[in-house]
Amino acid sequence: MSTYRPPLTDLAFVLEHVVGYPGVARLPGYEHADLDTVVDLLEQCGDFMAKVVAPTNQPGDVEGARREPDGSVVTPAPFKEAYRQYVDAGWGSVPFPEEFGGGAFPWSVNLAIQEMTASANMAFALCPLLTQGAIDALLHYGDAEQKQRYLPKMISGEWTGTMNLTEPQAGSDVGALATRAVPNGDGTFAITGQKIFITYGEHDLAEQIVHLVLARTPGAPAGTRGISCFIVPKFLVNVDGSLGEHNPVTCLSIEHKLGIHGSPTCVLSYEGATGYLIGEENLGMRIMFVMMNSARLSVGTQGLAIGERAYQQALDFAQDRRQGLAIGAEGKDSAIIEHPDVRRLLMTQRAYLAALRRMMLFNAVQMDHASHEQDERAVARAVEIVGLLTPICKSFGTDLGTELTSLALQVYGGMGFIEETGAAQHYRDVRITPIYEGTNGIQAADLVGRKLGVRGGASVMEFIATMREVEAELAQAGDEFDLIRMELGRQFDALETATAWMLATGSTDPDSALSGSTPYLRMWGLCVGGWLLARSALAGPATGDAEMAETQLVLARFYAEQLLPQCAGLLGAATAGSRDLFALDPGRLAGALRRG
């Protein structure tokens, strides 16, 4: 099995030449995060992930996490030392405020770190990822005392955090949750209920776990309007900051899952546990979305990350494995990388991964502008772009992550189906990502139902117009860019047509718009990826590296010619409406399976 090689050259190129990171470094508060400093930081991080975290990936999968009879959870043996070193190195603290011990770096830098961490070991990476989401919520809505009590040790990684949303009867319908929060009379609440699918809800990597729990107070409105958010620590925290008695939170079981075996996914029972209200009552959904929106981009990045790890291993295998004789070759056999269809598999992975990395980092750069720009109009526009791109990045990133790990397994042939090669683990691990943090169907509904109508559709049309500016740049760049320009133009036309249909249909026939939302979102992902790869091809010569410039041109051309045309092919599905989706009742859907 090959080792993990962090894509540092591409990360540095994308930050400098494609997504506009130098502009982020000029924002107030980020003066210390100049490009050279960031590249050096990422090189150190990549070295750490490759040497310390990546070797734990397959052993952690084989050993898995386990629950002991007393309710405690033991993580795979290699995780403990790796996590200790992760905390000592401070990698989880990079994007958070200095006043709480953070490095105050931009979120775009942190997203690059998240990619490398998840490539090294997704099951391991989930623990700091969920902690960062809980930190973000406390930074936005916690009071001064809560911030001082919890944030320093959560940011350092000494304490970890969770998000407790899902319940057995509710699933994705958060408004149906039933966990109760009853006032104790002293400002605290007694939290009672059961939560499922809680990532790292119990573990042995840190001494304290800070649960953020959604629950209902007495008399709260029904549905999502009546949800509040509470801090429920595993151990109560004394006035001096030391840990006190165990809060009555019990891990009833951990799930036996398809993948990410090293990550304990817990069923937690809250039995009158002491909780502390965050913000005001009934603000739980607003607080949840602070966690969720950041996490959605991070999960999209997980799709990229595991796809990258799987691609690297498939590439190495294709160079080592000899079978058949390539056309024009001599000898008794050739490395399978010389066969055209294997090249197709590898180039498809490489081009899609390049597109995804650019999309994720572009989105993160817009997040940095949204949080640090001084001009109100610039902030408002960045917020709109983040709102538009987040469901696209989450869905396109995780759908492709699943597809690309499958292509990587295909490169191995039969050996990919054998666990010892490691290819199957990536396929198993990545499959949860289209489900995490709101299924991809929910993301598509969010795109069509919420994001498309911003400013009456003007916001989304402005973004399409911004993407189309690259056509003129390509026309001026020379004949070798013509194919990219022409294909992008055709696909932008298709996206505009679908968008006009969605805007016209959504208000009068929302079922029809929602019925086409998933293929419509895919059209967006394909176009945004093609746009950013075209920008990469245009920027290649500025590096002064002829090989780099050629690589960017080839990737953009391959994507435009062989992958991007799917966009127009999806136009019919996006605009077909709901008639045939609902034409057959469940009995008729059973078809030949129906009893006579």
> What DSSP state is assigned to residue 596?
-
- Say whether 246 sits in a helix, a strand or coil: strand
Max CA separation in the chain (angstroms): 84
Cβ 54 vs Cβ 422: under 8 Å: no
Phi and psi, residue 228, nearest 5°: -120, 165
pLDDT value for 595: 57
The tens digit of pLDDT for each residue in 165-208 reads 999 887 667 777 899 999 999 999 999 999 999 999 999 999 99
pLDDT of residue 288: 86
Taking alpha carbons only, the member of 404, 401, 406, 429 closest to residue 416 is: 406
Q: Is the distance from CB of 453 to CB of 504 less than 8 angstroms?
A: no
Mean pLDDT by groups of 10 residues along the chain of 596 residues: 90 98 97 98 98 98 97 97 98 97 98 98 97 96 97 98 90 80 97 97 98 96 94 96 97 97 98 97 90 90 98 97 90 93 98 98 98 96 97 98 98 94 96 94 96 96 98 97 98 98 95 97 98 98 96 98 98 96 89 62
pTM: 0.96
Instruction: Please give the Cα distance from 341 to 352 (Å, whole number).
Output: 17
SS3 310: helix
**Distance from the Cα of residue 244 to its chain's centroid:** 35
**Nearest-angstrom CA–CA distance, 232 and 247:** 8
* Torsion region of 591: left, alpha or beta (phi above 0 gives left; psi -120 to 50 gives alpha): left
Domain hosting 541: range is 439-583
- Residue 300 confidence (pLDDT): 98
Decide if 29 contacts 97 (C-beta within 8 A): no
Give the helix, strand, coil percentages of the chain, each rounded to 5: 65, 10, 25
Kindly give the residue spans of alpha helices, DSSP state H, lying in 170-210. Answer: none
User: Residues 524, 527, 532, 536: what is their CA dihedral angle, to the nearest 10 degrees?
Assistant: 160
Rounded Cα gap, residues 43 and 59, in angstroms:
25
Cβ within 8 Å of residue 181, ≥6 positions away: 189, 190, 191, 215, 216, 217, 228, 230, 275, 277
Residue 224 lies in a domain: no
Dig out the tokens for 84 from the structure.
Answer: 């200790």
391 alpha-carbon distance from chain centroid: 10
**pLDDT value, residue 39:** 98
For residue 82, being part of any structural domain is answered with no
Q: Can you say whether the dihedral through the CA atoms of 155, 392, 125, 213 is positive or negative? A: positive
Phi/psi of residue 274, nearest 5 degrees: -75, 125
Q: What pLDDT, on a 0 to 100 scale, did the predictor assign at position 594?
A: 55
Of residues 384, 437, 480, 547, which has the active-site annotation?
437
403 classed as catalytic: no
| pLDDT at residue 509, as a whole number | 95
With respect to residue 517, please indicate whether it lies within any of the assigned structural domains: yes
Per-residue pLDDT, 172:
66
Asked if the structure places residue 218 within a domain, the reply is: no
**Quick one: DSSP state of residue 72?**
-
Q: Is 327 helix (H, G, I), strand (E, B) or coil?
A: coil
pLDDT at 236: 98
Written as one string, the DSSP assignment of 253-283 is EE---SS-TTS-EEEEEEEEEEEEE-SSTT-
CB–CB of 81/124 below 8 Å? no
Look at the chain and report how many structural domains it folds into.
1
Asked if residue 477 belongs to a domain, the reply is yes
On whether residue 562 sits in a domain, the answer given is yes
Task: Sort 580 into a burial class: Cβ within 10 Å, 0-12 / 13-18 / 19+.
Answer: exposed
Q: For residue 590, which amino acid is it?
A: A
Q: What is the SS3 assignment for 233?
A: strand
Q: How much is the pLDDT for 22?
A: 98
Collapsing DSSP states into helix, strand and coil, what is residue 169?
A: coil
Does 48 map to a domain? no
User: For residue 147, is it within any domain?
Assistant: no
